[in-house]
Structure 1
């Protein structure tokens, strides 16, 4: 793995609603988390229908050694957001140490931050870190409506006129191509939001003639093009079919069935868990940001940590640990 993961317990000390669908949860770790990089996240262990699951949430700057996260309740939730919204002060839960998947070059002079919806959560810490430096900084925040703009007041106090809000319900539209084209040479863009925004940002960045290495991003891999529903996975070597419920990931179900699928980020970003696809009877909903648009079009592989399907996906190169030849064989 790219980072060492350590788990400890934390207590919920407060909750409050930042927006109609976004709840802030403040945690006090039993073991102090120490300093962490801007844009870091923690993983949280949750029980969903009696099954252990994990979810990742970005950290919002917080004082006194506390950890602050925000959780969006989703209509197509696989159960994680409902479990988190049910937490009350005094509840205990297991959390991982803070880690960051952003790879930001902090030595540049020009930065553009792009946030969509709940993707604003890591941006407050990144914006605060950049605001302390002598850099040119702007932030563009796309939301459904003004009331959905979580953390807007804190961002406005920090950035002032450098912050622009785009509420789609009021006709606000963020033109990514124009925004990127207007940036000075050697600028860095940092993007966090739903998959569609990230795909649009990657395309606009390329169309603006910008180097791919200067676009930093993080995704919330639960979002996709298709509704979240159950689907089937067929093991190509045996014909065995496994049902993937709408509230569990393909990765979790395969591992629970005895097929050991290695993984790392479990957010659709690293590609470690990618599995070969033999054929598709239906349609794959690629929710990762690891594969290119062309690779997704060819359906040669799938990232089971976040991607889903409608219909049946036949996969190869899986094995069961109990079916491996013994050392004496």
Structure 2
């Protein structure tokens, strides 16, 4: 299925804002040049932040009035590099520069069964998909996973719309999702199932691993990530670039990619979510531990640590050093 690249830039005006969960803000934009926003599309937003202009991508939760009104929902990140803070500060009447709808997570037509798995704020990528499947009369199930109900955006709305097709797993209620059971159900089903997921890296890595263990078709597992979660808390580390004779410090609230750009070092990039691999760099040496936060590299590739994605990967220090250092070669 074709993947749509970024179209024109345009002006958008904020027409509604409200909180839809703890730390999650719903923002409705009215765009200058409306166009159809299919399920799985997102908007790229050009944001002014204290550290300079930043490009951020947000899933389109709802598209209304023939694409004139587009709903986004943004989680305020404790480790925000300025993007989520800027979005949460928006009020009615504010204007933004945004792209047209960009498709990188398309929903197929004709599968026998669909399972949509949303972890936390990942639900924003799947709301429109679930509605589309309901309208088609498709065989589908929506699995919602969260730490606590108060953090789960659109939970009541989705249960009202989809009824018994919704399964809810909440950690603090003692009902966490069992990935082996979920994927086992897919493997045992008499019909072919496509699974779509969006959420924390750990959840998606677990599903990918179980999917491979059951030898299920790779093409039937589809995902999108926001690339913001990892195994370790973000901390400052250093990147060495012998080819430029430069050292660049990466702060806890920025990425390697943004730190290099701020230092005047040009790199290739596109998705900024650890999905496309365009910003892949060769790892020459590591003093510390690399925290891969992408879904581009396989588990074995991450274990070898021969490469990392500049847009989301980080490093943390070991007990023997105050600050991690990663030596890279940019291609």
- Would the TM-score normalized by the shorter structure come out above 0.5? yes
Match of 2:18 in 1: 16
Moved more, 197-206 or 243-252: 243-252
Please state whether the residue corresponding to 1:264 is helix, strand or coil: coil
Q: Secondary structure at the match of 1:129?
A: helix
| Cα separation, 2, equivalents of 1:205 and 1:230 | 35
Matched, 1:267 2:273: yes
Structure 2 segments unaligned to the other structure (5+ residues) = 317-323
Equivalent residue, structure 2, for 1:321: none
Residues in 1 aligned to 2:37 and 2:155: alpha-carbon distance in whole angstroms: 23
What is the CA-CA distance between 1:101 and the residue it aligns to? 1.4
Alpha carbons of 1:157 and 1:175: their partners in 2 closer, same or farther (altered >3 Å)? same
Give the corresponding residue for 1:58.
59
TM superposition shift of 1:164 = 0.9
Relative to the length of structure 2, the TM-score reads 0.91
1:59-98 equivalent positions in 2, closer than 5 A: 59-64=60-65, 65-98=68-101
**Aligned counterpart in structure 2 of residue 204 of structure 1, from 201, 207, 210:** 210
Instruction: Judge conservation of contact 1:76–1:227 (CA < 8 Å) in 2.
Output: no
Kept in 2, the 8 Å contact 1:236–1:278? The answer is: no
Post-superposition CA distance 1:280-324 (Å, at most 9, x none)? 111111111000011111111111011111211101145xxxxxx
Q: 1:101 to 1:48 in 2, by over 3 A?
A: same
CA distance in 1, matches of 2:228, 2:293: 7
CA shift for structure 1 position 149: 2.1
Residue pair 2:107, 2:129 contacting (<8 A) in 1 also: no
- Checking the alignment, whether the CA contact within 8 Å between 2:274 and 2:293 is kept in structure 1 is yes
Is it true that 1:182 corresponds to 2:185 in the alignment? yes
Between 7-16 and 72-81, the greater mean CA deviation after superposition: 72-81
Shift of residue 236 of structure 1? 2.2
Q: How many residues align?
A: 317
**Structure 1 residue matching 2:133: 3-state secondary structure:** helix
Q: Is the 1:70–1:121 Cα contact (8 Å) retained in structure 2?
A: yes
Deviation at 1:155, TM superposition (A): 1.2
Find the counterpart in structure 2 of residue 28 from structure 1. Answer: 30
The aligned residue for residue 312 of structure 1 is: 325
1:158 and 2:164 equivalent?
A: no
Does the CA contact (< 8 Å) of 2:273 and 2:311 recur in 1? Answer: yes
Q: Distance in 2 between matches of 1:248 and 1:104?
A: 32
1:243 to 236, 249, 253: 249
**1:89-128 counterparts in 2 under 5 A?**
89-128=92-131
The answer to whether the 8 A contact 1:9-1:94 is kept is yes
In 1, the alpha carbon distance for the partners of 2:252 and 2:7 equals: 27
Distance in structure 2 (CA, Å) of the matches to 1:2 and 1:30:
20
Consecutive unaligned residues in structure 1, runs of 5 or more:
319-329
Q: 2:41 touches 2:106 (CA, 8 Å); kept in 1?
A: no
Task: Report SS of the residue matched to 1:23.
Answer: strand
Q: Is 1:177–1:207's contact at 8 Å kept on the other side of the alignment?
A: no
Paired residue for 2:284? 278
Residue deviations 1:244-283 (CA, integer Å, cap 9, x gap): 1222221122233232211121211010110111011111
8 Å CA contact retained: 1:2, 1:264 = no
Q: Secondary structure at the match of 2:20?
A: strand
Q: Displacement, 1:61?
A: 1.4
Question: Does the C-alpha gap of structure 1 residues 239 and 12 become closer, same or farther in structure 2, counting only changes over 3 Å?
Answer: same
